[in-house]
Amino acid sequence: MDIEQILDYKILGIRAGDPLIFALKVFLIVILARIVLTIISKVFRKAERNPRSVMDMTTRKYFERIVKFIIYIIAITSILYLIPGMEKVGSSILTSAGIMAAAIGLAAQDALSNFIGGLFIVISKPFRVGDYIALNTGVAGTVTEITLRHTVIVNTENRTILVPNSAINSSTITNSTVLDSRTCAFVEIGVSYNENLDHVIEVMRDEVMRHPMLIDPRTEADVEAGVPQVKIKVISLNDSSITLRAWAWAATSANAFNMKCDLLKSVKERFDREGIEIPYPYFNQVLVK
| Domains delineated in the chain | 3-106 (no CATH), 127-175 (2.30.30.60), 183-274 (3.30.70.100)
The reported pTM is 0.55
Instruction: Summarize pLDDT for 27-37 with one digit per residue, the tens.
Output: 888 888 888 88
pLDDT computed for residue 7 by the predictor: 45
Segment 123-145 mean pLDDT:
86
- State the Rg of the chain over Cα: 32
Segment 222-251 mean pLDDT:
91
Best-predicted range by mean pLDDT (46-50, 87-91, 103-107, 178-182): 178-182
Q: Does position 132 have pLDDT exceeding 50, yes or no?
A: yes
Instruction: Summarize pLDDT for 194-224 with one digit per residue, the tens.
Output: 999 999 999 999 999 999 999 998 888 888 8
Side-chain-side CA neighbours of residue 105 (13 Å):
11
Segment 145-165 mean pLDDT:
87
Segment 278-284 mean pLDDT:
76
Segment 98-111 mean pLDDT:
55
Average pLDDT in the chain: 79
Q: Does position 16 have pLDDT exceeding 70, yes or no?
A: no
Side-chain-side CA neighbours of residue 34 (13 Å):
6
pLDDT computed for residue 6 by the predictor: 46
> Which amino acid, one-letter code, is at 273?
R
